[in-house]
Chain A
Amino acid sequence: MNSEDVDLIERCKKGHAQSERELYRRYSPMMFGVAIRYSNSRHDAEDIAQDAWVKVFRYLKSFSENNSFEGWLRRIVVNTAITHYRRQKKHTHHLDIDEVYATPQDLEAFNESEYNKEEIEKAINALPKGYARVFKLYVIDGFKHKEIAETLGIDVNTSKSQLSRARKALQVTLLNMARIAKKKG
């Protein structure tokens, strides 16, 4: 964390309104990106991001400069998104997707150069919600299994098994998408 950020955070801690707006402008694109990743719609993402910012300003005094501020913000958005979904009772953790398990041949055939970001994003969002959430937390946002277990209220082993299944399901989905594209082509 650079000294400019440290000064900005210190001013925010003292309740300086202009500094709060400056902090928001600096980090809101990152926060909104994370919120969109964990939400079903842009409208939900806006609600999640706003709730997360309220928490940021409320608990900013408890933040220590020794930690990563971006990591702290990311964690707040993710927790807010999960709370949001728990409230809406939309998430389902334990959908059985054994039928989409990838075979060794599929994994060998997987070639990353065939897929762009939108396609991978689409494939992740096509996963069952529980698997998609564990995959995003672990692979994209860098959470550890213990942290995922605490955040989602699941066992560490459940987190590990869901991640494994999510990876395989994602690769199968991407291969199917590639096959469909080839047929169309």
Chain B
Amino acid sequence: MSTEQFDQYVTGMFANETVQPPADAEDALFQRMNKMRKRKRQIQAMGAAVVICVGVFIGAHVAGDPKNAAENSTDGSRAIVPSTAITATDKTESVPQKEDVSQPMSTTAESMETFEPSNLEPNPTVVSEPSSEGNDFSIQVEANLKEKRSPMHQIDALPARTAAYDSGLRSLQAPEEETWVLPAVVKVKD
């Protein structure tokens, strides 16, 4: 007998072999399946709850952060912002305002020729800055303004030659329509 014949003999013997399982096997299987499915549903529900809790926690944490609160307030999506956050934001915004004011003041003081009295109107935002905050910025600004209110004093302090030269030069360059009032210093040479 060849191996192929032997294989066919055995295969034919066991082909479509069926054995009836025990009667309680079906119920045991489906009870186990139900338990597994129930447990799976519970795990899924717990997972969803954990995700929601983490989301709420992160949301609350982000809302408590002043920087984020300030950023979010611009788009109007966040209605409630803590008062501490607002105060902090105002303070941070006031710092560059001081810098913006002081920078043109200093340049104006240096170039006294283009000075006009109308520019001497004090900036209400700067003047009304409360001095109680512990900085002397407003005092410094007021001092600068006082200096600007007495231009003659400033010009007197300049070297005489330079002032005369500059004033003459500028009077030549000035357009005809405009009337220039220039200080004049005359020096007599021997």
The interface of chain A, by Cβ under 8 A from chain B, is 17, 20-21, 24-25, 28-33, 36-37, 46, 49-50, 53-54, 57, 107-108, 110-112, 117, 120, 139-140, 142, 167, 171
Contacts and interface: CB of A to CB of B under 8 A. Distances in A.
A108 B5 CA distance: 12
A126 to B, nearest CB: 14
B28 A30 contact: no
Contact of A24 (B13, B17, B22, B29): B29
Nearest to A112: B9
B84 interface: no
Contact of B30 (A21, A33, A107): A21
B3 interface: yes
Interface in B21-80: 21-22, 25-26, 28-30, 32-33, 36
Contact of A171 (B6, B14, B17, B26): B6
A49 B25 contact: yes
Contacts of A28: 21, 25-26
A33 B36 CA distance: 26
A36 B19 contact: yes
Given A50-B28, A53-B29, A140-B10, 9 more contacts: A20-B33, A32-B25, A33-B19, A46-B21, A108-B1, A110-B1, A110-B6, A117-B14, A140-B11
Contacts of A30: 16-18
A140 B14 contact: yes
A18 B106 CA distance: 90
Contact of A32 (B14, B21, B30): B21
A114 to B, nearest CB: 11
A57 B18 CA distance: 21
B1 A50 contact: no
A167 B6 contact: yes
A24 B22 CA distance: 13
Given A20-B30, A30-B18, A33-B17, A120 B10 contact: yes
**The 6 residue pairs across chains A and B that have the minimum distance between CB atoms:** A29-B18, A32-B21, A33-B19, A33-B17, A140-B14, A112-B9
A17 B9 CA distance: 40
Contact of B29 (A29, A54, A142): A54
A167 B21 CA distance: 30
Contacts of A21: 26, 30
Given A29-B18, A29-B21, A50 B32 contact: yes
Nearest to A57: B33
B149 to A, nearest CB: 88
Given A20-B30, A24-B26, A25-B26, A112 B1 contact: yes
Nearest to B16: A30
27 contacts: A17-B30, A20-B33, A21-B30, A28-B26, A30-B18, A32-B25, A33-B17, A33-B18, A36-B19, A37-B14, A37-B17, A46-B21, A49-B25, A50-B25, A50-B29, A54-B29, A54-B32, A108-B1, A112-B5, A112-B9, A117-B14, A120-B10, A139-B10, A140-B11, A140-B14, A142-B11, A171-B6
Nearest to B8: A139
A93 B45 CA distance: 45
Nearest to B3: A167
Nearest to A108: B1
